[in-house]
Structure 1
Amino acid sequence: MKSEKRSKHPFNLYLTSGEYMKVIGSQDGYFPDFGHHVANEMGGVWLHPIKLLDGFWLRVTDPSRGISVWARADEYATLPWGNTFRYDHGLGHIPVSIERVQFAPETEKGLVVRYEIYNSAAAETALELELLARTDLRPVWHSETIGVVDGPADEARALSSRLALAKDGDHDWYACVGTDLPGEQYSIGGQLYGPEFTSGNGAGISFRASVALAPGERFVFHLVVSGSTESGEACERTYRLLEDPAERQRLLEEKQAAYEAIRARASLEIEGDPDFCDVFAWAKWNTQWLVQRVDGIGRGLTAGSPTYPWWFGCDNAYALQGVLAVGDHRLALETAKLLLEFSKRANGNGRIIHEATTMGVVANPGNTQETAHYICLVWELYRWTGDRTVLEDNYEACGSGMDWLLGEMDPDGDGLPSGYGIIEIAGLNMELIDSAAYTAAAAGAMSRIAAELGAGEEAAAYAVLEKRLTRAVNETFWDEREGLFCDAVAPKKDLLPKVDDIVSMAERHGAEGVREALERQLSETEGLEADRGWLIQKNWVISTPMEAGVADRAKGERAVRNMRNEAFVGEYGSYLSAVLQQGTMTISTGAHAVAEARYGDPEAALELLRRMNRSFSTALPGSICEMSPDYGCIAQAWTLYALAVPVVMHLIGLQPEAHRRRVRLEPKVPASWEGRWIRLRDARVGDASLDIALRKEGGKLAVEIVNASGLTVVVSWNGRVVESAEADIRFALDR
């Protein structure tokens, strides 16, 4: 596995990430204005919930040749823990090359950028250097709703000739910018810009130096940035820490060790398929990039960078399943706790929020699906971690959430809650398949949670409810003619006013025959008042009954067969809509892969993941974009769900029961992995660790498990069951 990914696509974006600090720029080393949540302000250097800098730039001047350039990188590389930029041709005919390496310490509020200039000439080369940063202290999106707005022009002043402190005009938001360049020359001013005229109320800070390099000589200097939402003194303390060479090296080594630990935990090795394992490892690292720590709020997994750098209920209901499967139980528990706290403050009725910004603003109180999905997640948290407090802390809220779903959101009392689900398309706020499937699954989760907490009567009542809701999904949403679950359930009178809008949107995406398909369904429907299922766009969420495990076996098997074709699956995975075929996301592909693994063919599930992986490194080296192949967020949290849940929990078949100190192993080995060893090292279940190795060949399954923690391991395959708690488990099963 390669721990470096290179690119020569300079205008794509990159991310440098610590748990506090995030840096977003272009792969040529620049910082263009872009973004819509905060218009033209989503890039730069962020210490959430505030932005510190629009960016920083280096100008190199060769007086003897009369050349002066703002350095633009020719080559970019992603490292798990940081980034490197190479400057060669972008320096014109100046006979030097530059390497820039940057990283954000994991739990310090700062950034370290190291520049190394190499003189490749046969003679001494004299250079004039200018290192310029542009501050832009301002708040994250939606802050104005609580009265927090960007102040007037930043106030910047020199603390020394090599260190400046900037403050927002109205708030105690601070940024320190400094360097160890030699010399004393500097400038500070509101109209001081580098090669890019960036938006915002910032100030320019420029440090200048003259150096002379002998042939073959290397010259190293640093840019250090720190920030604070408390005081200038706190900001300077962080800067002083990061300017110390020994401390910088310590923090870098700590970060590199942390990322090596991430690689080693739940490490996937598939004999003869290193590329797949490489993507798997990078998906774990990508997830860590999206962890955001904010003092006074907490730590949790954000949805995606750079467009959605805050916390989401929907995204985490998926992503945290992947986080659990790769063993980062702490992150999963902390993120879920954060979502619950936000939801209690904003709603107080069990409804789980859709999104909360890093300023603490709940921008959307929650779509229907995410409350049900969160309840399912609580059970997953428990069976992976064995932490009983997660049930105790969530039980009352989850019970209220079920009441909200089947009360306020289910006015007709049919067990199918209404409102927007994952697909937030205007007009699709009916009884939707994803909300219905997850509500049925949530009832099952509540039954198991109640039983664990000793609430026997409630457990029995939820079990009855699960059966009723599951039956409603399978009867009401099923389209027998198509052999598919429908997008939505509604009476004819509710769909009729929406037909023109649905058709218009479809035609904008080049889809044909949509009106005819809807009119056929309408013509088959007698009466205006009775509920029935509608196949409107064949959105990807029609796979959720299989993904959630609530589809009847025969219907689920038929549905995945009928989705295994070019209408539903494109070059990079599963379309968001089989009708529109306008985009592909890792979430649509991942949910479809889980559905295939549960009800269909493990090889078909693997093929979906291989298609998804085709877009790996297309835009950002080392990552898969939100939208395949190369647009949307450059890193997206639910990608780990898309890879880890189908692979770990279904193809390898690891089903945790940490609360019982037991694990079930129910492998479904894809045909293309037959004859190969499949290994998952350091798989975490509760406080235990397992090394699992499987090899299927013909009618035989070989199993080797290192079980030093003494878990009870139950292996089920083709009707054969083996149970053992030994430290070294080795056996083979025949058909």
Structure 2
Amino acid sequence: MTLQRYFIDDNVWESEATPTTPVFISGQRIYAITTIGGERHPFGEWHLRDTMGGVWAHPLRIMDGWALALEMEGIVTPLDHAVRCDLFGAYVTRHFTVGTLTLEWTEFAADDQPHYYATLLARNDGAAPVNATVLLRAEADLRFCWFGGVAPAEPEIDTIPGGVAWRATGAYAGVTVTLVSASPSVWEISGRMAQARFPLIVQPGEALALQWRLAVQRNDDPLPGNVLRAAVDTLSSKIALYRTITSAIRLETPDRDINRYWQVARQNIHMLRADYRPALAPYLLAGLPEYPQLFGCDTTYSVPGVVASGFASTARSALEELGRYAWRACSRVPHEITTNGRVYHPGNIQETPQFAVACWDYVRWSGDLDFLERMYPLCVEGLEHFSATLEGRGYPIGDGVVEVPGMGACKLDVVCYLYQALTTLRDMALTLGRPGDAVRFAGYAGELTARFESDWWIEQEGMYADSLHLDGRQQFDGHWTVLLPVLTGIAAPERAQRVLDRIVREWVNEWGMVHTRGADMRVWTLPTGLLALAAFRHGDADTGIQLLRNIGVTARYGTLGTLKELIPQGLCFIQLWSAALFVQGITEGLFGLSPHAHRHELIIEPRLPSGWSEATLHGLRVGDQTLDLHVTPEYAEIRLLKGDTPLLARYRAAADQPWREARITPGGRALLKREE
């Protein structure tokens, strides 16, 4: 076993795990999926089997992995079973002991360049000199991403000053991968394998370090500089970046675990940012190891949390890239785009209306009206795929977010997200000064709501059907999507609470909301996070915070410090929507925030759990304004730290309380109190 230690703020989490437990070493241009113990291990089950790990500079996999070993007195000791692995977010350090040598193997990736580094620090704790040799073995690879459309290449490896380089012809022409060291060495090449030996003579009490850099050069990219200096500078800047991220937007509540999960979630979102231009504009990886692709629904579910976390530019870029693909597909939003820009799945039916909702979510949080002007026509055109439904003739036909065979042709989630898109487009139209459009969309939404209640409600179940057959027959399977009428607002108010109460009783176990009641009892973070939002909005803050806590606790199972796809762990070991929904659950659920950054307005309706006396968000960004927000059961205090214009804050302590409001100038403060 290997002891993991994860460092977050001033806290350290520890757990024993198998040495092959995965670890994600992230950069926007390059990343590695390797192990906490140091052993090379195959990752990937459903896409590129056994090859989703290794080192990727998408759309290319450039190295299967490397291995270190120490040779002393004729005995070779592989460094593949670390005693301890320290996880810092910015970098990973494995610890070994061989004889009197203490070894620290650190790996990290540059954040903005396709450069990947490893260092080995050896310290002699004995009384006699140590004469050893470090062995480095690297297996080169050159292959395109899953469904990249190009066969893997056989790399041609050559020695270069200080290391080796590999390249290939055809589709790989113009790409050179270099692996160089800061210390003199002689490299040997055998097929895909490159090996080097590094003499290591360490005096008692002395420490010596070796450094290596793996880099990708495309066409006329400049040659990387000195390895040692670049390694030091890169690690220093990355540590500083992560410290900035940690301190930028801070949460303080009476629950220290919730505070730490907040930091983990924001750190995970940062780690999942990707920039693979020119193949794809910057976006967010959906989950690893299986889903580095650009996804429609994963992105749309994550936008509010991503923007509230401080990564608005990445959210915008991802939406714009989805929009470019949708425009070429007559405004149908794709489900999955490979990392070299090929559409694998043209989109489930609900993803087009979900995209409109996500665009509005981005605008609400960012205030970016230029973006809205450009995306509005695309979102409007997307409705043409639902023209029959909007004219009162049936419901959309096709798969929705639950991809399960045997359901009726018309899916509940599709209708719910279509309704939400209509109300969203109404608000978009009003914002852009198009009242005629707003009236039309509001009319569609009202007509859909009226039909929905009569066609989908099952009185004996006290629930809405999961699907309808083409002859109108209802089918109830108990999938997690039964939540969506409540969450999207299409459910009649008197039925919404009834549905929510039954879900909490019958769909929720100790970990969260099950996928399908009585059939698939796995708990996914997606429905659990969405249920948390619904619970908060309907006044059940105790359930809401417990569900968020369940998402957060996945960071303590398996790989420490990453939020998983399943609860407590399973499938992807780091998942975008897990982190983003946790953040949204805090901002829009716990604090009850509804931002309208384009109007410089913020609505605040806090829902504090039992026993909580207060909660504070420091450094929250709403558009171009930055604020501190402190809430208690009795009042909300807002400090406007940055911004060029006043902020209108509207506060309501509870649904039966009157609204209070104040216009706060930059540098000012407002205290809005509950009515006595």
Give the TM-score, by structure 2 length: 0.93
Q: Offset at 1:3? A: 6.5
Q: Offset at 1:70? A: 4.4
Q: Offset at 1:133? A: 1.0
Q: Distance in 1 between matches of 2:625 and 2:307?
A: 13
Q: Offset at 1:431? A: 1.3
Q: Which amino acid aligns with 1:306?
A: P
2:430 is aligned to 451
Q: Which amino acid aligns with 2:287?
A: G
Alignment RMSD (CA, Å): 2.0
Contact 2:551–2:582 (CA under 8 A) maintained in structure 1: no
Q: Offset at 1:278? A: 0.5
Contact 1:547–1:594 (CA under 8 A) maintained in structure 2: yes
The secondary structure found in structure 1 opposite 2:674 is strand
Q: Which amino acid aligns with 2:427?
A: R
Which moved further from structure 2: 283-292 or 451-460? 451-460
Q: Which amino acid aligns with 1:711?
A: L
1:656 is aligned to 595
Q: Offset at 1:441? A: 0.7
The secondary structure found in structure 2 opposite 1:99 is strand
Q: Which amino acid aligns with 1:46?
A: W
The secondary structure found in structure 2 opposite 1:135 is strand
Evaluate the alpha carbon distance shift between residue 724 and residue 708 of structure 1 in structure 2; reply closer, same or farther with a 3 A threshold.
farther
Evaluate the alpha carbon distance shift between residue 473 and residue 322 of structure 1 in structure 2; reply closer, same or farther with a 3 A threshold.
farther
2:267 is aligned to 285
Q: Does residue 694 of structure 1 match 2:631?
A: yes
1:316 is aligned to 299
Contact 1:164–1:177 (CA under 8 A) maintained in structure 2: yes
Evaluate the alpha carbon distance shift between residue 544 and residue 444 of structure 1 in structure 2; reply closer, same or farther with a 3 A threshold.
same
Size of the aligned set, in residue pairs, is: 656
Q: Offset at 1:653? A: 1.3
The secondary structure found in structure 1 opposite 2:652 is strand
Q: Which amino acid aligns with 1:485?
A: Y
Q: Distance in 1 between matches of 2:25 and 2:454?
A: 49
Q: Distance in 2 between matches of 1:412 and 1:386?
A: 33
Match of 2:498 among 546, 549, 558: 558
Evaluate the alpha carbon distance shift between residue 559 and residue 592 of structure 1 in structure 2; reply closer, same or farther with a 3 A threshold.
same
The runs of at least 4 consecutive aligned structure 1 residues that moved more than 6 Å come to none
1:338 is aligned to 321
Q: Which amino acid aligns with 1:32?
A: H
1:397 is aligned to 378
Contact 1:694–1:703 (CA under 8 A) maintained in structure 2: yes
The secondary structure found in structure 2 opposite 1:725 is strand
2:444 is aligned to 465
Q: Which amino acid aligns with 1:121?
A: G
1:724 is aligned to 662
Evaluate the alpha carbon distance shift between residue 321 and residue 723 of structure 1 in structure 2; reply closer, same or farther with a 3 A threshold.
same
Match of 1:612 among 551, 576, 580: 551
Query: Structure 2 matches for 1:192-207, cutoff 5 A?
Result: 203-207=192-196
Q: Distance in 1 between matches of 2:269 and 2:186?
A: 41
Evaluate the alpha carbon distance shift between residue 43 and residue 3 of structure 1 in structure 2; reply closer, same or farther with a 3 A threshold.
farther
Deviation digits for residues 497-543 of structure 1 (CA, Å, limit 9, x no counterpart): xxxxxxxxxxxxxxxxxxxxxxxxxxxxxxxx3x133211x111111
Contact 1:180–1:222 (CA under 8 A) maintained in structure 2: yes
Match of 1:177 among 172, 176, 179: 179
Contact 1:138–1:150 (CA under 8 A) maintained in structure 2: yes
Match of 1:218 among 200, 207, 222: 207
Q: Which amino acid aligns with 2:52?
A: M
Evaluate the alpha carbon distance shift between residue 414 and residue 619 of structure 1 in structure 2; reply closer, same or farther with a 3 A threshold.
farther
Query: Structure 2 matches for 1:325-474, cutoff 5 A?
Result: 325-345=308-328, 347=329, 349-407=330-388, 410=389, 413-414=392-393, 416-428=395-407, 430-474=409-453
Which moved further from structure 2: 252-261 or 454-463? 252-261
Structure 1 unmatched ranges of 5 or more: 191-202, 492-528
1:8 is aligned to 16
Deviation digits for residues 202-234 of structure 1 (CA, Å, limit 9, x no counterpart): x11111022221222211111210013x23x63
Give the TM-score, by structure 1 length: 0.86
Match of 1:53 among 60, 63, 66: 63
Match of 1:20 among 4, 15, 29: 29
Match of 2:529 among 582, 587, 590: 590
Contact 2:637–2:669 (CA under 8 A) maintained in structure 1: no
Q: Distance in 2 between matches of 1:623 and 1:83?
A: 14
Evaluate the alpha carbon distance shift between residue 280 and residue 597 of structure 1 in structure 2; reply closer, same or farther with a 3 A threshold.
same
Deviation digits for residues 110-141 of structure 1 (CA, Å, limit 9, x no counterpart): 11111111222222221111111111111000
Evaluate the alpha carbon distance shift between residue 657 and residue 168 of structure 1 in structure 2; reply closer, same or farther with a 3 A threshold.
same
Contact 1:298–1:338 (CA under 8 A) maintained in structure 2: yes
Deviation digits for residues 677-713 of structure 1 (CA, Å, limit 9, x no counterpart): 20011111110011000122xxx33535345532111
Query: Structure 2 matches for 1:214-293, cutoff 5 A?
Result: 214-228=203-217, 230-231=218-219, 234=221, 237-238=222-223, 240-241=224-225, 243-245=227-229, 247-270=230-253, 272-293=254-275
Q: Which amino acid aligns with 1:728?
A: R
Evaluate the alpha carbon distance shift between residue 44 and residue 688 of structure 1 in structure 2; reply closer, same or farther with a 3 A threshold.
same
Contact 1:8–1:76 (CA under 8 A) maintained in structure 2: no
Query: Structure 2 matches for 1:54-203, cutoff 5 A?
Result: 54-63=64-73, 66-88=75-97, 91=98, 94-144=99-149, 148-151=150-153, 153-160=154-161, 162-170=162-170, 171-172=172-173, 173-182=175-184, 184-190=185-191, 203=192
Q: Which amino acid aligns with 1:44?
A: G
Q: Offset at 1:576? A: 1.1
Deviation digits for residues 596-636 of structure 1 (CA, Å, limit 9, x no counterpart): 12235111111211222232221111012112222211111
Q: Offset at 1:577? A: 1.2
Which moved further from structure 2: 382-391 or 46-55? 382-391
Q: Offset at 1:650? A: 2.2
Match of 1:682 among 605, 612, 619: 619
Evaluate the alpha carbon distance shift between residue 454 and residue 250 of structure 1 in structure 2; reply closer, same or farther with a 3 A threshold.
same
Which moved further from structure 2: 68-77 or 619-628? 68-77
Q: Offset at 1:308? A: 0.1
Q: Distance in 1 between matches of 2:663 and 2:642?
A: 9
Which moved further from structure 2: 591-600 or 53-62? 591-600
Q: Offset at 1:730? A: 2.3
Q: Offset at 1:455? A: 2.0
Deviation digits for residues 383-420 of structure 1 (CA, Å, limit 9, x no counterpart): 1111112221112211111111334xx59944632211
Identity of aligned residues (%): 25
Q: Distance in 2 between matches of 1:70 and 1:452?
A: 60
Q: Which amino acid aligns with 2:660?
A: V
2:5 is aligned to none
Q: Distance in 2 between matches of 1:564 and 1:286?
A: 28
Q: Which amino acid aligns with 1:299?
A: P
Q: Offset at 1:721? A: 1.9
Structure 2 unmatched ranges of 5 or more: 1-8
Contact 2:353–2:421 (CA under 8 A) maintained in structure 1: yes
The secondary structure found in structure 2 opposite 1:625 is coil
Q: Offset at 1:645? A: 1.6
Q: Distance in 2 between matches of 1:25 and 1:5?
A: 20
Q: Which amino acid aligns with 1:400?
A: E
Q: Offset at 1:48? A: 0.3
Contact 1:21–1:46 (CA under 8 A) maintained in structure 2: yes
Q: Offset at 1:6? A: 4.7
Q: Distance in 2 between matches of 1:125 and 1:339?
A: 57
Deviation digits for residues 273-310 of structure 1 (CA, Å, limit 9, x no counterpart): 11111011111111111111012131011201111001
Evaluate the alpha carbon distance shift between residue 81 and residue 313 of structure 1 in structure 2; reply closer, same or farther with a 3 A threshold.
same
The secondary structure found in structure 2 opposite 1:141 is coil
1:503 is aligned to none
Which moved further from structure 2: 654-663 or 210-219? 210-219
Evaluate the alpha carbon distance shift between residue 670 and residue 593 of structure 1 in structure 2; reply closer, same or farther with a 3 A threshold.
same
The secondary structure found in structure 1 opposite 2:236 is helix
